[in-house]
A and B are shown apart, each in its own frame.
Chain A
């Protein structure tokens, strides 16, 4: 298992490293159109061929990978912070606040994740600029993904509420805000870290789902979702196998995340 984890780490670092150097590896960029070689198979000039309007697929894969690998952790950070504030505070304060937070959490959890995600994204403008669409997609992921983590954090914080060290700190006159920030949150750190790492592959897959349905990042900016949308027109797998490269890369990255952070699941849901 240790060896597999190292291999996964290497794969992840390699993919991240190459995607960060996209400008050097594919200097033409993701939007340049080679109109004379549209829908071309792989060649020395275009390693993964070109799409139907002549854009270099290799460059698009690199830029799309970079987008997902940088923004999925950002969304995971947002959702973990929201879970920490809402769940942690609800568990720590208890009473009415805890009941309201639990009701809201239960309400969100009673809706299937994909249903909620697709509905909310579809309600936002789809003809927005690429940058706005990127922000909207990943903000939605971050703002809707906090619920299950919040439940775990609420339970963890509630178990701390009546602990001896917190009673003593309260008796010493430490203000509630400082108590939460200095004494409660550090004790929730293992759960928070686990939730953060577990959320990343979930958000990568969710973005891919949205992209395939045409609800993700707007053109011409590439993302794994929009690259996978190309599979829609395929008649057989053997026809244009290079179109499967984004899928293989996605599976490799998500598998790597799962292998590396398999142990974190013990702390999470």
Chain B
């Protein structure tokens, strides 16, 4: 049963990621100025070089042919070459991925630790003033654009991961607090409290099993949020990660690079969501 579910999800992920790549390729192809670049006005190039440049570009004109050829090459491990950086996309991604993964990983750890600590204490204490303070604090963070948090991170010289965490944290906190609040108000928790059960036992035996699957789903969404936030933060903080690369690729209409980054981002987002979904459903199917 689980195997079939995993297989179904894997096919869906693959199809969506491939469609994502095609979507991005189509967008770049239809973008104004796709066919032109600075090299075409370079006075050092003779007519033969210009013709070669034109030929290279014309291979990308039929987007379906270009995409199918790219997929064929990708299946052999060749992701093509970047038009802006004049380097293999493989190499660029390999160089920049660790930084982005570290940034997102640290940000998710910090935001989840802060969100869960605040949400658990708010749900367990049930103090209006505490809850109000936490709501105001997260409300202010929710009203700040991601790019402003990036600028403030540069201004205060704080780690960029903190800026990404500040974007993910308020959303995580609000959702987790509502989930835990609902779980804590269930009748069997009140009964457990009346019987004098220890708070930690109530939390791990009765609250987490109820709210767990949805919290896992939230974890999946957090990954998507963190990836989105990483682009402006990396671009503004001057961090050479995949987020900055995506920004540069979009600005330069670098088709091979942008298509590969889109497929990568789609894959990571879908994998995170699916993993959270599968683990959550496994938890639900376990006998009580």
A232 contacts which chain B residues (CB < 8 A)? 151, 236
Q: How far is the CB of B138 from chain A (nearest CB, A)?
A: 11
Contacts of A201 in B (CB 8 A): 143
- Please, which residues of chain B bring their CB within 8 A of the CB of A113? 228
Which of A17-25, A86-94, A189-197, A250-258 contacts its partner?
A250-258
Residues of B within 8 A of A237 (CB): 155
> Is A228's CB under 8 angstroms from B32's CB?
no
Contacts of A255 in B (CB 8 A): 139-140, 143
Q: A124-B32, A212-B145, A231-B151 are in contact. Are A114 and B229 (CB under 8 A)?
A: yes
Beyond known contacts A115-B246, A234-B151: 20 more, CB 8 A cutoff: A103-B16, A110-B269, A112-B224, A114-B231, A115-B231, A118-B231, A118-B247, A119-B258, A123-B27, A125-B33, A126-B251, A205-B145, A206-B145, A208-B145, A208-B147, A209-B145, A228-B151, A231-B152, A231-B155, A251-B143
A118 to B246, CA, bound (A): 9
| Assembled-state Cα–Cα distance A170/B173 (Å) | 46
B269: A residues at CB distance < 8 A = 110-112
B152-194 contacts to A, CB under 8 A, are 152, 155
Bound together, the chains give a CA A122 to CA B252 distance in angstroms of 8
| Candidates B33, B150, B229, B270; contact of A110 at CB < 8 Å | B270
Q: In the complex, how many angstroms separate the beta carbon of B219 from the nearest chain A beta carbon? A: 15
**Would you give the 0/1 interface string for A83-122, flagging 1 where the beta carbon is closer than 8 Å to chain B?**
0000000000000000000010011001111110011101
- Given the known interface contacts A107-B20, A122-B247, A251-B140, the answer about A114 and B228 at a Cβ–Cβ threshold of 8 Å is yes
Can you give 21 A-B contacts (C-beta < 8 A)? A103-B16, A110-B266, A111-B20, A113-B228, A115-B227, A118-B232, A119-B27, A119-B258, A122-B247, A123-B28, A123-B31, A208-B145, A209-B145, A209-B147, A212-B151, A212-B232, A213-B247, A234-B155, A250-B143, A250-B145, A255-B139
B279 CB → nearest A CB, Å: 19
B148 within 8 A of A: yes
A45 at the binding interface (Cβ < 8 Å)? no
Contacts of A123 in B (CB 8 A): 27-28, 31, 250, 253
User: A-contacting residues of B (Cβ < 8 Å)?
Assistant: 16-17, 19-20, 23-24, 27-28, 31-33, 139-140, 142-148, 150-152, 155, 224-225, 227-229, 231-232, 235-236, 246-247, 250-251, 253, 258, 262, 265-266, 269-270, 273
Alpha-carbon distance between A254 and B224 when the two chains are bound, in angstroms: 23
The contact string, 1 if C-beta is below 8 Å from chain B, for chain A 218-244, is: 000000010010011011110000000
Measuring CB to CB, which residues of chain A are less than 8 angstroms from any residue of chain B? 103, 106-107, 110-115, 118-120, 122-126, 201, 205-206, 208-209, 212-213, 225, 228, 231-232, 234-237, 247, 250-251, 254-255, 258
| Cα(A5)–Cα(B43), bound, Å | 64
Q: Tally of A-B residue pairs with Cβ under 8 A?
A: 116
Which residue from A106, A119, A120, A228 sits with its C-beta under 8 Å from B148?
A228
Given contact pairs A111-B269, A209-B146, A212-B148, A119 touches B16 in the complex (Cβ within 8 A): no
A247 to B140, CA, bound (A): 11
| CB–CB B31/A208 < 8 A | no
Q: Which residues of B contact A115 (CB under 8 A)?
A: 227-228, 231, 246, 265
Complex: how many Å from CA A236 to CA B266? Answer: 38
| Closest Cβ neighbor of B248 among chain A residues | A122
A111 CA / B24 CA spacing, docked (Å): 11
A254 in contact with B143 (CB, 8 Å): yes
Q: How far is the CA of A236 from the CA of B154 in the complex (A)?
A: 10
**What distance in Å separates the Cβ of A259 from its nearest Cβ neighbour in chain B?**
8
Contacts of B27 in A (CB 8 A): 119-120, 123
Cβ-closest 10 pairs across A and B? A112-B228, A122-B250, A212-B147, A114-B228, A123-B31, A254-B143, A208-B145, A251-B143, A119-B250, A209-B147
**Are B227's CB and A112's CB within 8 A?**
yes
Distance (whole angstroms) from the CB of B37 to the closest CB of chain A: 14
Cα distance, A37 to B231, chains bound together (Å):
36
A103 to B17 alpha-carbon distance, docked (Å): 12
Q: A107-B23, A212-B236 are in contact. Are A228 and B250 (CB under 8 A)?
A: no
Closest B residue by C-beta to A116:
B228
